[in-house]
Structure 1
């Protein structure tokens, strides 16, 4: 785990290697170039929940932190603390703001982010924001901030289809030293919500259980783990 501002910690799995590009290859390549210091300025990632925005933001922050001061701020979690959480962030050379749409339309937050953006741009830094919609559709209170964001690099992330989801799960499992057969993937997809966040959380649970039991991720073993988990919740 990497320690970053506000006490937020990045999960070890949030790296470029575990991000399946699929139809989001341009966004992934752009993020890599930001993290390497090759690109600067503002970048906007948009797309529905489960499209990989948070993963790509956290991976960018993790990679950038190897060579520059970087931070990840989940605005949906910290906006209740007030705009003061932005203090000190201009010192960063790479700042990733997740769920920026949570504060769009709030003048105090927009003024703070606009000032932050100007300072970072003057210093040659990079700010990467993520939201559900593109910046041109945000309900801005500060037109100048909307214009700056719209003029930056904007990437619409695509949700993985069924085959891509399977490839993403197998990639994540392989990076953990696990084998996840195609039949097991199909079984999971038929029985659980098909958003990647839920499927990755399920894989985390199965990974821990497989490691403890020294078992492979077969369908009978997964059924056993899920029955055990259901029994524990019912106690």
Structure 2
């Protein structure tokens, strides 16, 4: 079952470590896994550019913890305007808390204080905290110096984007999970003619899956070319 989120959202079951290609991020993924299981470093800070899989990894860690029988909560701080810092109250009763996009609360004293106090309570209780951001902890525009210092504790990883060969491997693996066959040549064609970020590529693959099923066609270059032309004409 998908893990319940703050705001009544749910984690998609496909957001797991099996659907994440580590590539140059193998050590970060390994340490994230042991943290989620409760056997590794209790605090991990992940940062990187858009489309490096930060949210994917936090959501996967939440599900891993759940599967290990640990209580876990994923909080997307890009939705902070719909929340209150009171959401942090008593969260030290959970085994692991995942805070996504912490830069979203930077410069907001009540939120910064809330995260600072949560960090301390989790540490006192021997619980785990995973945090993501778009930059390293020392470069965050956090006004509360003690919080910026706390965020520098534990393990810190800059997630590296996938290169073209990694993206081809990720595409073919994602296609295989859908029961589709995608050749390397066809995957390279997709990379040359569409948006290249993994989010867009996964959405395109989902569309191609539906279109190929409806047309009863394999994912060949002519089929994909015709599909993309229809999308452009539409």
Task: Please give the alpha-carbon distance, in whole angstroms, between the structure 1 residues aligned to 2:231 and 2:125.
Answer: 51
- What TM-score does the superposition give when structure 1 sets the normalisation length? 0.91
Task: Please give the alpha-carbon distance, in whole angstroms, between the structure 2 residues aligned to 1:19 and 1:75.
Answer: 22
Task: Please give the alpha-carbon distance, in whole angstroms, between the structure 2 residues aligned to 1:202 and 1:89.
Answer: 38
Task: Please give the alpha-carbon distance, in whole angstroms, between the structure 2 residues aligned to 1:69 and 1:32.
Answer: 15
Aligned CA distance change for structure 1 residues 85 and 225 (closer, same or farther; 3 Å): farther
- Shift in Å, 1:230: 5.1
Q: Paired residue for 1:89?
A: 91
Task: Please give the alpha-carbon distance, in whole angstroms, between the structure 2 residues aligned to 1:220 and 1:212.
Answer: 16
Q: 1:190 aligns with which of 189, 192, 208?
A: 192
Which is worse superposed, 174-183 or 213-222?
Answer: 213-222
- Shift in Å, 1:65: 1.1
Q: Paired residue for 1:31?
A: 32
Task: Please give the alpha-carbon distance, in whole angstroms, between the structure 1 residues aligned to 2:88 and 2:205.
Answer: 34
Aligned CA distance change for structure 1 residues 215 and 92 (closer, same or farther; 3 Å): farther
Aligned CA distance change for structure 1 residues 161 and 103 (closer, same or farther; 3 Å): same
Q: Indicate the SS of the match to 2:152.
A: helix
Which is worse superposed, 72-81 or 54-63?
Answer: 72-81
Q: Which runs of 4+ in 1 moved over 4 A?
A: 227-231
Q: Indicate the SS of the match to 2:169.
A: helix
- What TM-score does the superposition give when structure 2 sets the normalisation length? 0.91
Q: Paired residue for 2:65?
A: 64
What are the superposed Cα offsets for residues 64-100 of structure 1, whole Å, 9 maximum, x if unpaired? 1112111111111234433233345333211111111
1:74–1:99 Cα contact (<8 Å) kept: yes
What are the superposed Cα offsets for residues 9-41 of structure 1, whole Å, 9 maximum, x if unpaired? 212221111111111001010011011111242
Q: Indicate the SS of the match to 2:99.
A: strand
